[in-house]
Structure 1
Amino acid sequence: MDTSAYVKAVVEQTGTFADWVHGKDASAPVPTCPKWTLADLVDHVGATQRVVAMLVGERMTEPSRAFAGYVPGPTDSSQWHAWLTEGAAEAKRAFESVDDDTPVWDPSGAAAGVPFWSRRLFGEVSVHRADAAAALGTRYELAPEPAVAAIEDWLATMTSRGYWENRPDFADAMRGAGQTLHFHATDAPGEWLARREPDMVVLERTHAEADVAVRGPAAELLLVLSRRRPLAATPGLELHGDQALLDHWIEHMDWVSD
């Protein structure tokens, strides 16, 4: 997917998310984010999109002003639909105002800028829509190709140099001596090999033998890797190899734990 495709999908998925949460109980717990209520989830999704819209639209190479401008969402859930869809539209306008090579700060450590943020917002709403589904008892669906793109975002961001350097707890947990994990989507092209090295996690897009392998439909693989569904509750996935290694990996894929 390119930047425009990611942004189009962000707008579409945010619209679905907004339809689901509109008028619902703001205090409802979110089982997949145990410290959050539905209001916290809505706030996170909409405010994050606005922060990124500011970063991209104003071509910021230093992020402090954008993060300082974080505006919480409405407390009245009857206002959520409009607030969420307006935030997605704001992000869309920001991306349309720049080129992929426009200098914009991002936390990856790779100076990926505009393409990073379009993919990141797509991954955000893909996973947080699963959170909303869990909170509301709604069926979560994501087509295979977008699910592969969301897995790519999750794995690429979590294994980025920037994440490693800014999360010493994660780095300490992920240091290894070459242990390998293979993830394989079976309903759309998508395979990843993660190798735990002493100073980083190396991510390759390839098929290879590994210490542990998980394969199955992309949407189910996304939910397990993003800690939204336990492996034991996902019979569509096949596991081969060292489950303890996979459990350790998933335990530390704790992107937003607070």
Structure 2
Amino acid sequence: MDTSAYLTAVAEQTSTLADWVHGRDAAAPVPTCPEWTLADLVDHVGAVQRMVTMLVGEQMTEPSKAFAGYVPGPTDSGQWRAWLSDCAAEARQAFTTVADDTPVWDPSGAAAGVPFWSRRLLGEVCVHRADAAVALGMQYELAPELAVAAIEDWLDTMTSRGYWENREGFADAMRGDGQTLHFHATDAPGEWVARREPDMVVLERTHTKADVVVSGPAAELLLVISRRRPLDAASTLEVQGDRALLDHWIGHMDWIAG
């Protein structure tokens, strides 16, 4: 997928989320984000999109202004649909003003800039739409190719040099001596091998033997590795090899706490 395709998908996924949450109970708990209410979830999705709009639209190479520019979302859930739709539209417009190689800050440490943020927005809304589905009792469906893109975002960001250097707890937990985990989407092209080294996690897009292999439909694979569905509840996934290694990995895939 290219930047334009990512942003089209972001708009579509945000529209679905906006329809789901519109007019709902703002105080409803979000079980997959235990400290959040539905209002917190909506606020987070829109705030991230607006932060990225600033970063990209103003071509920022330093993020403090975008971080400081946070404006909370509406408290009235009857305004959520329009607000979320506007957030996604503004983000999409911002990306039309830049090229993929336009210098824009990103936290990966790889100077990935514009492509990083286009994919990050897609991964963000796909995962948080899963949170909303659990909170509201909705059925979660995601096209395999979009789920693969969201998995790529999740794994690539979590194994980035920037994440390693800024999440001490994650780095300590993920240090290893060559242990390998193979994630394999079976309904769309997508395979990743993560290798735990003493000073980083190496991510490769390949098919090879590994200490543990987890395979199955991309959407379910995404839900499990993002900790939105317990592995034991993911009936369509197959695990071969060292289950304890996989459990350890999933147990530390906490985007917030690290």
Partner of 2:14: 14
Normalised TM-score (structure 1): 0.99
The SS at the match of 1:70 is coil
Contact 1:29 1:135 survives alignment (8 Å): yes
Alpha-carbon distance in 2 for matches of 1:257, 1:248: 15
Mind listing any 5+ residue stretches in structure 1 that lack a counterpart? Answer: none
What is the count of residue pairs matched by the alignment? 258
SS at 1:32 equivalent: coil
Query: What does residue 55 of structure 2 align with?
Result: 55
Deviation string, structure 1 residues 179-230 (Cα, Å, up to 9, x no partner):
0000000001110000000000000000111111100000000000000000
SS in 1 for 2:193: strand
Q: TM-score, structure 2 length as denominator?
A: 0.99
Residue 132 of structure 1 corresponds to: 132
Query: How many Å apart are 1:257 and its aligned residue?
Result: 4.8
Q: CA deviation at 1:3?
A: 0.4
Q: Does structure 2 conserve the Cα–Cα contact (< 8 Å) formed by 1:23 and 1:77?
A: yes
**Counterpart residue type for residue 236 of structure 1:** T
Report the equivalent of 2:160.
160
> Which residue of structure 1 aligns with residue 99 of structure 2?
99
Aligned residue type for 2:158: M
Root mean square deviation of aligned Cα: 0.8
- Quick check: 1:215–1:237 contact (8 Å CA) kept in 2? yes
Q: Deviations over 1:36-77 (max 9, x none)?
A: 000000000001100000000000000000000011111110
- In the TM superposition, residue 178 of structure 1 has moved relative to its aligned partner by 0.3
Q: Which runs of 5+ in 2 are unaligned?
A: none
Give, in whole Å, the separation in 2 of the partners of 1:56 and 1:128: 22
| 1:239 matched residue in structure 2 | 239
C-alpha distance in structure 2 between counterparts of 1:108 and 1:21, whole Å: 31
SS at match of 1:193: strand
SS of corresponding position for 1:126: helix
Q: Distance in 1 between matches of 2:234 and 2:74?
A: 35
Contact 1:23 1:80 in 2 (8 A): yes
Runs of 4+ residues deviating >2 angstroms: none
Tell me if 1:82 matches 2:77: no
Question: 1:256: Cα distance to partner?
Answer: 2.8
Any idea what SS the aligned residue of 2:104 has?
A: coil
Is the 1:22–1:77 contact (alpha carbons within 8 Å) kept by the matching residues of 2?
Answer: yes
- Tell me by how many angstroms 1:123 deviates: 0.3
Contact 1:193 / 1:204 at 8 angstroms: preserved in 2? Answer: yes
Give the letter aligned to residue 230 of structure 2. P
Question: Which residue pairs with 1:169 in the alignment?
Answer: 169
Question: Is contact 1:122–1:150 with CA below 8 Å preserved after alignment?
Answer: yes
Distance in 2 separating the partners of 1:20 and 1:123:
18
Q: For residue 248 of structure 1, what is the amino acid of its counterpart?
A: H
Pair 1:192-2:186 in alignment: no
SS in 2 for 1:90: helix
Q: Tell me how far 1:113 sits from its aligned partner.
A: 0.4
SS in 1 for 2:183: strand
Task: Give the aligned partner of residue 178 of structure 1.
Answer: 178
The percent identity for this pair of structures is 81
- What SS class does the counterpart of residue 245 from structure 1 fall into? helix
**8 Å contact kept, 1:11–1:89:** yes
Aligned pair 1:112/2:139, yes or no? no
Which residue number in structure 1 is paired with residue 211 of structure 2?
211
Counterpart amino acid of residue 221 in structure 1: L
Q: Indicate the SS of the match to 2:83.
A: helix
1:220 maps to what in 2?
220
Partners in 2 of 1:44 and 1:38 — Cα distance?
Answer: 10
